[in-house]
Amino acid sequence: TDVCESADWYNSKFIVSMAANMNMTRTPDVHFISEARTEGTKFVVLSPDFSQIAKYCDEWIPIQAGQDTALWMAGNHVILKEYYIDRQVPYFIDYVKRYT
C-alpha cells in the first residue's frame, strides 16, 4: 500500500495490506478500500493484531511478528513454480535469458 496511487485500489480485484493501518496512516485515502470492496474486490490483511483495518477485510491472517518474510517467500515460490516453471512461457524464458 505504500507505492501505488490510492485511487488505483478502486481498480483492483485483490488487495493485501501488510504492516499498515490505513485508518490511522492514510485516513484521506482509506475510503478507496471500501469503494473497491463494494465493487467486489477481495481484501486481505496480514497483521499480528486485529487492527482497525482488519475489521473491514474479507480475510485476516494473524501472522506472528517476523513471519511476514517467510510468508511472502512462500507465495513467490508458488507463483514462480506454477506460472513459470511448470508452465513454460516463451516471453518469460526470453526475458530471463536477456536480463539475468
Q: What is the mean pLDDT of residues 35-42?
A: 92
Domains identified in the chain, total number: 2
In this predicted structure, what is the pLDDT of residue 77?
Answer: 95
pLDDT-based confidence at residue 2 (cuts at 50, 70, 90): low
Query: Is 75 found in the same domain as 58?
Result: no
Query: Is 72 found in the same domain as 57?
Result: no
Query: Is 41 found in the same domain as 19?
Result: yes
**pTM (2 decimals)?**
0.69
Query: Is 45 found in the same domain as 30?
Result: yes
Calpha distance 71→78 (Å, rounded): 11
Q: What is the mean pLDDT of residues 3-9?
A: 78
pLDDT-based confidence at residue 3 (cuts at 50, 70, 90): low
Q: What is the mean pLDDT of residues 36-63?
A: 90
Query: Is 59 found in the same domain as 14?
Result: yes
